[in-house]
Amino acid sequence: MKDIEDKTPKSPKAVKQAYHDLADKIRKAKIHRPGVFSAATPASLAWDVSVEAVAKTIELSGNVAQAITDGITALKDTDWYKGLA
């Protein structure tokens, strides 16, 4: 438990940086990356939109539950998802 307490950010600036760092790690789950050529499919674009929604929510609020909800909502709002039904 002491190890976890040592890694917990103490100042508001440190907390904000921790949220930003976590968001950057989440963004690595995107399929398409700048500077890399790959064919985009509707499903892969929908995935990337969802990942960005999760990362942005984490970056702004640090609220993981809300980030997951935002990611699911972003996925469901894509034309690809709507076309599945």
- Among 38, 40, 50, CA closest to 81: 50
Tokens of 18: 């921790």
Q: What Cα–Cα distance (Å) separates residue 11 from each residue in 2, 8, 44, 49?
A: 18, 10, 37, 31
Domains of the chain, by residue range, sit at 39-85
Q: Sorting pLDDT into bands at 50, 70 and 90, what band is 1? A: low
Q: Sorting pLDDT into bands at 50, 70 and 90, what band is 5? A: low
**Over residues 62-66, mean pLDDT:** 93
Helix, coil or strand: residue 10: coil
- At residue 35, the pLDDT reads 74
Decide if 76 contacts 47 (C-beta within 8 A): no
pLDDT tens digits for range 33-58: 777 777 788 999 999 999 999 999 99
